[in-house]
Structure 1
């Protein structure tokens, strides 16, 4: 990927930045000149990514926080300071049947996938609005619109965040703050590999492209929505899923 200065002088907070899509997003934003505030749970992985970005000529710092904890989520927002770009990427998923999903598991999905972005936007968007500009990008999931026999709690938590996207676009848009969601289909990440093991190839059979996505591809879309090239895009849910497969004729 080429290095540009499209985001020079901007500060971006990326949650869930130490692996998968979040890591690709953080590196891409740094390559475009943004100072990146990295969030994750693992201090060692966070510090390693800070060094990786620095080696590529970028600037980053790391803040550890537990997004299942509301107070810690707000501490993250305060520690991040005045940011111009928020990428809410952190996500929790447990693809279990409804009867096997207890209240604690349901609450964790809502806490990380819905409540955390809600709290971060509430803490950070007013500052963006006062400065007259800002971009908020949520990384969602096709599970919000494509039901399956398992994973109802995950799908509901992602669907809630998509709804919030449209509300926030209406609430903050007049003040110069844009809010959009990227909704990826299956993507090859450390998480999907851990979940599927040797069966990850099944992800390549789910769409019209005949392959799952790469984190770098999603990162390019996030960077587009975060930057000035998408100045007229607000309240959108952008599907990045390779295209749904067409049904075969009977």
Structure 2
């Protein structure tokens, strides 16, 4: 399958590292001009260099999309996009009965409201042009709520609902809106976390498989997912080949969620 996104402009929030950077790189390799977004200018510029080094076209937009002011700044620099990927998200382990109101507000501001603002900002232009793709990066935690961070899980459940609702809003316009349920992924800091739980003398391949076997036994993949594997799904959903896929929650979870449907 040859995916051609030449002539398309994409925005990937939180794309200076991990899954976001992999998505930005994948979209750029397929021909899109990608706006890399983050709050730290040096990290944004470094990510732009990485994407360009992989053979893609990229620009940097340094803006805090968790605030209305930051979104206004983003829109001034990037008034229209064809592909919006709401990847930005935060998490943190907190015992259920100790999650404060402020922690609840913060995680919803970052994980949910930032995506809602950008959908509200960019969908009208997509609908007017009769083509567009909006993709929210959710998590297996949206379905399998983690006891150690239920506020994160609930925010990701909200992302699934957000996508479904905006897909209805864009019905019949040529614009698709979907979410991707990402499973346990090999991102920054995960290797150290794994080695806190398994024998440090094991090589990485064996260590992650031991971690999955003992701590994530639900996974059918039995290894961590690489960010590029999630990016492949996003690139497909961004393409003309996915024109009949909208309002969906597509799983790249390695079989972690023990369900036929999300």
Q: TM-score, normalised by structure 2?
A: 0.87
User: Any idea what SS the aligned residue of 2:61 has?
Assistant: strand
Which position in structure 2 is the counterpart of 1:126? 124
- Pairing partner for 1:56 from 46, 54, 57: 54
Which position in structure 1 is the counterpart of 2:221? 209
Q: Given that residues 40 and 64 in structure 1 are in contact (C-alpha distance below 8 angstroms), is that contact kept between their aligned partners in structure 2?
A: yes
How far apart in 2 are the matches of 1:194 and 1:67? Answer: 29
Which position in structure 2 is the counterpart of 1:222? 234
Gaps of 5+ in 1: none
How far apart in 2 are the matches of 1:137 and 1:184? Answer: 12
Gaps of 5+ in 2: 198-206
The one-character-per-residue Cα deviations of 1:56-92 (angstroms, maximum 9, x if unpaired) are 3321111122233232133223422210000110101
How far apart in 2 are the matches of 1:153 and 1:146? Answer: 12
Q: Please, which moves more after superposition, 196-205 or 83-92?
A: 196-205
- Pairing partner for 2:94 from 77, 90, 96: 96
How far apart in 1 are the matches of 2:257 and 2:99? Answer: 29
Which position in structure 1 is the counterpart of 2:203? none
1:214 Cα deviation (Å)? 0.4
1:103 Cα deviation (Å)? 1.7
1:208 Cα deviation (Å)? 1.1
1:218 Cα deviation (Å)? 0.2
Q: Given that residues 140 and 181 in structure 2 are in contact (C-alpha distance below 8 angstroms), is that contact kept between their aligned partners in structure 1?
A: yes
- How many residue pairs get aligned? The number is 244
Q: TM-score, normalised by structure 1?
A: 0.91
User: Any idea what SS the aligned residue of 1:150 has?
Assistant: helix
How far apart in 1 are the matches of 2:193 and 2:124? Answer: 38
- Pairing partner for 2:248 from 200, 213, 236: 236
Question: Cα 1:228–1:162, aligned 2, differ >3 Å: closer, same or farther?
Answer: same
Q: Given that residues 174 and 243 in structure 2 are in contact (C-alpha distance below 8 angstroms), is that contact kept between their aligned partners in structure 1?
A: no
Instruction: Map 1:28-39 to 2 at 5 A.
Output: 28-39=26-37
Q: Given that residues 162 and 237 in structure 1 are in contact (C-alpha distance below 8 angstroms), is that contact kept between their aligned partners in structure 2?
A: yes
Which position in structure 2 is the counterpart of 1:11? 9
User: Any idea what SS the aligned residue of 2:172 has?
Assistant: helix
Question: Cα 1:97–1:77, aligned 2, differ >3 Å: closer, same or farther?
Answer: farther
Q: Given that residues 94 and 149 in structure 2 are in contact (C-alpha distance below 8 angstroms), is that contact kept between their aligned partners in structure 1?
A: yes
- Pairing partner for 2:110 from 83, 89, 112: 112
Q: Given that residues 143 and 257 in structure 2 are in contact (C-alpha distance below 8 angstroms), is that contact kept between their aligned partners in structure 1?
A: no
Compute the RMSD of aligned alpha carbons: 2.0
User: Any idea what SS the aligned residue of 2:171 has?
Assistant: helix
How far apart in 2 are the matches of 1:170 and 1:46? Answer: 33
- Pairing partner for 2:170 from 158, 172, 183: 172
